[in-house]
Structure 1
Amino acid sequence: MKRILAFLFLCLALFAQPAAAAPSEAEAARQAAQGVVAEVLGALANRDFQKLASFVGSEGLIVSPYVFLDDNDVRLSRADVERCATDPQMRLWGYKDGSGDPVETTCRRYFDEFVWNADYRKADEVLYNEPRQRGNEINNNHAAAPDGIVVELHIRPQGAHAPMNWKSLRLIFRKSDQGLSLIAFTRDVWTI
C-alpha cells in the first residue's frame, strides 16, 4: 500500500510540475527572424539591392519615411528594389516633418537618407514584436501587420541634442510557406 501511495504521489508531483514555459511572442519572433534580420542589415549596409530584393515577397516592399504606415506610402516591387542603386526615376516618398517639403528623390538617395542613415547593425536596442511608442508620430506598424514580425533597431540619443537625435529603423516581415518576406521599412525619429 505504501508503495502504491508513493507511486501516486510521484505521479502527481510529475504532473503538477509546470510545463516548460513556451517562448514569449517576442522570443519566438526573435528566433524566427534574427538570422534574416542580420542578412537584410548586411544587404543595406553594403547597398546590395540585389540581395535585399531577394527578401521582398510578391506583395512588394512598403517604404515609409516615418513610422506611420498609410496607403500613400511607396510600394516597391522586387524588380524596383533590384534596380534601386541605378534607377534614375524620381519618386514622391512622402513629406518632410516640420517643413512639409516633398521627399522627392531617387531610390538610392532615399535609402541613404531615410533607411540606412546609421549603422543599425550596431543598434543599442533590438526589439522583436514589442511595440514602442517613442515619438510624436503614431506607431501603427504592429496594427498594419498583425500577423507579421516587426523588428525595431533603436539607436539611443547622444550628444548635446540627445532628446532629439534618437532613431529607429523598423523592418516588418510576413510569414509564409517560403519563410519570411520583408514587407515594409519604417523610420522613427523625433518629429515636431
Structure 2
Amino acid sequence: MKKHFYLLALLSLVYCTKEVKNSSQVTATDSLMLNSEDSIANESNQIEKEDLNRAQTLETLNNEVISTLKTKDFVRFSKYIHPEKGIRFSMYGYVQPKQDKHFTRGEFIKYVPTNIKFTWGEKDGTGDKLVLPIKDYLTKWVFKKDFKGAEYHENVFKGSGNSINNLKEIYPKADFTENYIPGSEEYGEMDWKSLRFVFEELYGTKYLVAVINDEWTV
C-alpha cells in the first residue's frame, strides 16, 4: 500500500510540475504578444502624430507665404526661401529647370527692391516673353488672383488642365501645397487658377524651393 501511495504522490507531483511549466510558457507567450501589439500600436500612433505635425506645419507655412504676397512684404517672404537651394519660379505647371527663373536667397533680397527686369518665360498662346522686375512678377503674375481665400490642398493636385504637370518628377522628395481657385460657369470653368508652393527640409526646418503657377493653357 505504501508503494502505491508513494507512486501516486510522485505522479501527482510530476503532473503538477508540467502544468505549472506549461502555464508559465503560455503566460510568457501571451506577454510577448501583448508587448508586440503595444509596440505596433505605439509606432502607429507616433507615425500618425508625425503626419499630423507635418500637415499642420505645411498649412501654417503656406498661409504665412500667402500673407507675405498679399501684403507685398517681400522681405519677410525671403525668409522662407531655402538657404542653400534658393527658389525657382515657374510660370506654368510644367517646370523647366533650365529655363525657369532661379534665385539664391541673397540674390532675391538684392534684386527685389530694384526695377531690374528679368525674363520669366513665355506667355501661353502668344509666345510673348514676360519681362518684369521681381516685385512686379510677384504681384502681377504669382498673385494675379487673391489666393488668400483659395481652396487649400496638401500634396494633391486640384487644378488640372491640358499641360503636363511634372512637379513630382522635378521635386520627388518634396512636400507641396496648392491654393486653388475654381473656374467660373461663364468660362466653362476653364479660368481656374492654382498657386503651388514646394517645400524641402533643411536641418529640421522646411523652406520654400519653388513657386509654381498653373492654369488652363492652349
Match of 2:164 in 1: 138
The code of the aligned residue for 2:78 comes to A
Tell me which of 116, 131, 138 is aligned to 1:104.
Answer: 131
User: In the alignment, is the contact (CA less than 8 A) between 2:159 and 2:192 conserved in 1?
Assistant: no
The code of the aligned residue for 2:121 comes to G
**Structure 1 length-normalised TM:** 0.83
User: In the alignment, is the contact (CA less than 8 A) between 1:156 and 1:166 conserved in 2?
Assistant: yes
Could you give the per-residue CA deviations for residues 114-155 of structure 1, whole angstroms, max 9, x where no partner exists? 21112222112423x224560111111122111111111111
Q: State how far apart, in whole Å, the 2-side matches of 1:160 and 1:97 are.
A: 21
Could you give the per-residue CA deviations for residues 5-43 of structure 1, whole angstroms, max 9, x where no partner exists? 899779867866873464499756423322222211111
Mean CA deviation greater in 67-76 or 30-39? 30-39
Could you give the per-residue CA deviations for residues 64-108 of structure 1, whole angstroms, max 9, x where no partner exists? 111111111100221333245432111110000011111111112
Match of 2:148 in 1: 121
Match of 1:176 in 2: 202
Report the RMSD for the aligned CA atoms in angstroms.
Answer: 2.8
Distance 1:25 1:139, change over 3 A: farther
Greater helix proportion? 2
- The count of residues paired between Structure 1 and Structure 2 equals 191
Distance 1:83 1:158, change over 3 A: farther
Q: Does 1:36 align with 2:61?
A: yes
Higher Rg of the two aligned structures = 2
Tell me which of 102, 106, 116 is aligned to 1:75.
Answer: 102
Q: State how far apart, in whole Å, the 1-side matches of 2:48 and 2:188 are.
A: 35
Q: Does 1:186 align with 2:186?
A: no
How far residue 177 of structure 1 moved from its aligned partner, in angstroms, is 0.3
User: In the alignment, is the contact (CA less than 8 A) between 2:159 and 2:193 conserved in 1?
Assistant: no
Runs (5+) with no aligned partner, structure 2:
1-19
The code of the aligned residue for 1:73 comes to D
User: In the alignment, is the contact (CA less than 8 A) between 2:119 and 2:130 conserved in 1?
Assistant: yes
Distance 1:170 1:24, change over 3 A: farther
Tell me which of 47, 56, 66 is aligned to 2:72.
Answer: 47
Identity of aligned residues (%): 24
**Structure 2 length-normalised TM:** 0.74
